[in-house]
Amino acid sequence: MGAYISLIIGCILVNNFVLTQILGICPFLGVSKSTKTALGMGGAVIFVMTIAGLVTACINQFLLIPFEVTYLNTIVFILVIAGLVQILEILLQVISKPLYEALGIYLPLITTNCAVLGAALICAKGEFSLLKSTVYCFASAVGFAFALVLFSSIRERLELARPPKSLRGLPLTLITAGLLAMAFMGFSGLGN
């Protein structure tokens, strides 16, 4: 039990996919203008990444490894993730039309979100069990969502600021992301 708690804390704070492993930067920068949209994207990523972790671990353990075709894991995982995103898109259209419309173009970004694929590949390379893969992917997704919501709240606050003209827009966004990443480096002592 203690190992899983350590894994969860490590994934959320110490080895945050966005801020320390530089995975999922595109949605991190693109969806973080509004906290409401960031919450929706974070929830969608948590759902997709957790299910993708479980499904890809099953495929890896019961198909790819026994048939000795682990070299196909990247292609197979991409297809599985794309299928899961399509299912999520259909469910959101039926269950929550406003959330589906709020996410707009960002929902298909989950398909190409390298954090989702990266988590599945890390689990496969580390030969994680089904439970450990699912916990790892869930915790990594929670860390992704945490960083996304935190960054979006900072960006909303920066909208009220009056920075110099040369820093407005993307430069200030990138500087803020860098400072947030440096702040998360302070958690690296927790992993030891």
In a domain, 2, yes or no: no
In a domain, 164, yes or no: yes
- Average the pLDDT over 86-115 and give the result: 80
pLDDT per residue as tens digits for the range 104-159 = 666 777 887 889 999 999 999 999 999 999 999 999 999 999 999 999 999 999 98
pLDDT higher than threshold 80 for residue 101: no
Q: What is the Cα–Cα distance from 122 to 72, expressed in whole angstroms? A: 14
Q: What is the Cα–Cα distance from 140 to 146, expressed in whole angstroms? A: 10
Strand, coil or helix: what is 96? coil
Share of the chain above pLDDT 70, in %: 96
In a domain, 44, yes or no: yes
In a domain, 5, yes or no: no
pLDDT computed for residue 190 by the predictor = 61
Q: What is the Cα–Cα distance from 173 to 30, expressed in whole angstroms? A: 11
Domain boundaries, position 147: 12-191
In a domain, 147, yes or no: yes
In total, how many domains does the chain have? 1
